[in-house]
Amino acid sequence: MTANYAARGKQIVKKEQPGISRNKLLVISGTGWMFDAMDVGILSFIIAAIAVEWQLSPTEMGWVGSVNSIGMAVGALGFGMLADRIGRKNVFMLTLILFSLASGLSALTTTLTVFLALRFVIGAGLGGELPVASTLVAESVSAKERGRVVVLLESFWAAGWLIAALIAYFIIPEYGWRIALVLTALPAFYAIYLRRNLPDSPKFERAGKPKQSFGAKMKLIWSKPYARKTTMLWIVWFTVVFSYYGMFLWLPSVMVMKGFDMIHSFKYVLIMTLAQLPGYFTAAWLIEKTGRKFVLSTYLLGTAISALTFGNAESLSMLLLSGAFLSFFNLGAWGALYAYSPEQYPTSVRGTGSGMAAAVGRIGGIFGPLLVGSLVAKGFGFGIIFGIFCGAIIIGVLAVIILGTETKQLELE
């Protein structure tokens, strides 16, 4: 019976994946991921630009980033469950189109209220696409290279941020932030290409559409075999997203507040962003050699130290150096986290489990930017603010070390 099941599985993979290689899957999925990063990255620069144009207070600036995270929390939960019902590919397509079109429309806004409403929609698309894309890739490659490939998928995030930084540096000062947002709407055209070329996950095709209700799925991810894993993921996701969006969405604005003009601030953030790529590539190289737990905890610890150093830096050289290390370690940790998350659950709830963890993380992403805006408005220094993020990341490190189990090269359930 097992042999017959395996034979049927091979037939399905052959039928559903004609000519799709690992590298082609990686490039197709990664390009969509890159567009996501481009949108999030451009938002950090746009916050600095619209703060001047619309005369926003620090609290209002914080809400721009937080509303985006509210949408991401809703999207991660809703689209994660939907991916377990209608397939990874269909949700990947839907979310890509959703955030692309909403991003283009946001270029036409003239009030903060409408801009925030569209940022919620954009966030929902982003929040749904990211865990679904990593689940799709994780289910489509062999166990021996799964971690490396998912981290390489995440490395496209650095490319998106670099594009966003280049757009911010060359386009926003000359043509304004609206043109920059129009450029982020281009992924909608790429989604049409994806429909023809991207197959769904072979594991999802073999498993078939699950009949479980949301309550049954929640009960499963909190059942005895998975409760420890779920607890670990929720803690790590919350602390990582809380600190990431609190620090990186404010990075250009922090540079402005430290006394640099907007153009120079954008250039310095671009330099820091370059360090994301080696962060991803080193994490991808190490993850199949040393394991998920080592890479995730080590890179998070490096993030914590870099955050504390950046918050207390006074000179330009120290700001650039610590900011580069912050990008290096933080984005490497993100890659390991996206590789680690889908490996915790069976196929029937993999999208839901990963999506729930990401949704909890996005709650942290709501509070991170708001915290910065609130503390800046009250006159707190960046040393204290980044010290809080350092402490949050340390909690995430402890969760990985104490509660995490190693999943290196294990076959997915």
| In the predicted structure, residue 81 carries a pLDDT above the cut 90 | no
Give the per-residue pLDDT at 241. Answer: 92
The phi-psi region of residue 315 (left if phi > 0; otherwise alpha if psi is between -120 and 50; otherwise beta) is beta
DSSP output for 290-347: H-HHHHHHHHHHHHHHHHHHHHH--SHHHHHHHHHHHHHHHHHHHHHHHHHGGGGS-H
Name the most confidently modeled range: 139-148, 326-335, 393-402: 393-402
pLDDT confidence of 194, banded at 50, 70, 90?
low
- pLDDT above 70 as % of the chain: 91
Provide the token pair at 326.
């912050």
Domains of the chain: 20-203+212-403 (1.20.1250.20)
Closest among 32, 88, 285 to 205, alpha carbons compared: 88
pLDDT confidence of 297, banded at 50, 70, 90?
very high
Give the per-residue pLDDT at 352. Answer: 83
Question: Mean per-residue pLDDT for 138-166?
Answer: 84
pLDDT confidence of 192, banded at 50, 70, 90?
low
Q: What are phi and psi of 176, to 5 degrees?
A: 95, 165
pLDDT confidence of 196, banded at 50, 70, 90?
low
310-349 CB burial, b ≥16 within 10 A, e <16: bbebeeeeebbbbbbbbbbbbbbbbbbbbbbbbbbbebbb
Amino acid at 350: R
Cβ atoms 191, 96 nearer than 8 A? yes
User: Higher pLDDT residue, 160 or 307?
Assistant: 307
H or E stretch covering 109:
none
pLDDT in tens, 218-264: 888 899 989 999 999 999 999 999 998 889 878 888 888 888 877 77
Question: Mean per-residue pLDDT for 359-369?
Answer: 87
Provide the token pair at 100.
């692309």
